[in-house]
């Protein structure tokens, strides 16, 4: 008799297991497909995307700030170099004007520096009495020559009056080297004329 109930018992057990499995899977699927679960997953995904965008933006901002600093440093360096270039160009223009004010060299062979120096210190420079006819009425020892004269003519007049190169340079507001160059040119001209 007990044997008659075994198939019934097995069938009942299988039915109970099937119903329990059905209820378990139903609740599992309901939990997996519920709105709260899907929204939570979407929120988590959106938060991860926002976090990665924020990290990328921070990194890009730091790169931009770094490049901005480099660009500012580069612009400062360019400004310094440009200022230096402008000053050099102004000095070059002043030197060109001073060079243009000096008389042009003639195409004769140039004497040596030692020959010019020997001639210069032997007293071959004309004395003030000989130069009196080309010097204006005012005394060059007291006043500078009239401004109508060019720089080279002023140097020549002051040189003929017997002033030293340093005194001529201080009177005319130019460098001693310019006065020496002009003096050498005058001596060279006198030698070849």
What CA–CA distance (Å, rounded) separates 93 from 86? Answer: 10
Same domain, 92 and 150: no
* pTM for this model (two decimals): 0.32
Same domain, 130 and 61: no
Confidence of residue 144 (pLDDT cuts 50, 70, 90): low
124: its two tokens: 């071959």
Express as a percent the part of the chain with pLDDT over 90. 26
What CA–CA distance (Å, rounded) separates 154 from 165? Answer: 12
pLDDT digit string, tens, across residues 153-188? 888 888 888 888 888 888 888 888 888 888 888 887
Q: Which of 79, 99, 119 is the last residue of a domain?
A: 99
Same domain, 94 and 134: no
Please count the structural domains in the chain: 2
Q: Which domain holds residue 92?
A: 2-99
Closest CA to 131 of 105, 155, 106, 166: 155
168: its two tokens: 């001529």
Same domain, 94 and 161: no
Same domain, 54 and 95: yes
Same domain, 78 and 119: no
């Amino acid at each position: 008799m007990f044997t008659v109930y075994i198939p019934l018992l097995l069938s009942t057990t299988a039915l109970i297991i099937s119903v329990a499995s059905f209820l378990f899977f139903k609740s599992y699927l309901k939990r997996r497909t519920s709105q709260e679960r899907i929204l939570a997953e979407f929120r988590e995904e959106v938060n991860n995307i926002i976090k990665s965008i924020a990290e990328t933006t921070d990194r890009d901002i730091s790169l931009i700030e770094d490049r901005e600093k480099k660009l500012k440093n580069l612009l400062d360096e360019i400004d310094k170099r440009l200022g230096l270039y402008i000053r050099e160009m102004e000095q070059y223009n002043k030197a060109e004007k001073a060079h243009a004010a000096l008389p042009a060299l003639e195409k004769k062979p140039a004497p040596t520096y030692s020959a010019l120096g020997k001639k210069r210190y032997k007293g071959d420079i004309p004395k003030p009495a000989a130069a009196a006819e080309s010097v204006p009425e005012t005394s060059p020892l007291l006043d500078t020559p009239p401004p109508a004269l060019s720089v080279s003519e002023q140097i020549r007049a002051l040189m003929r009056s017997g002033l030293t190169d340093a005194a001529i340079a201080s009177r005319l507001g130019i460098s001693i080297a310019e006065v020496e160059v002009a003096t050498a040119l005058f001596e060279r001209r006198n030698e070849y004329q």
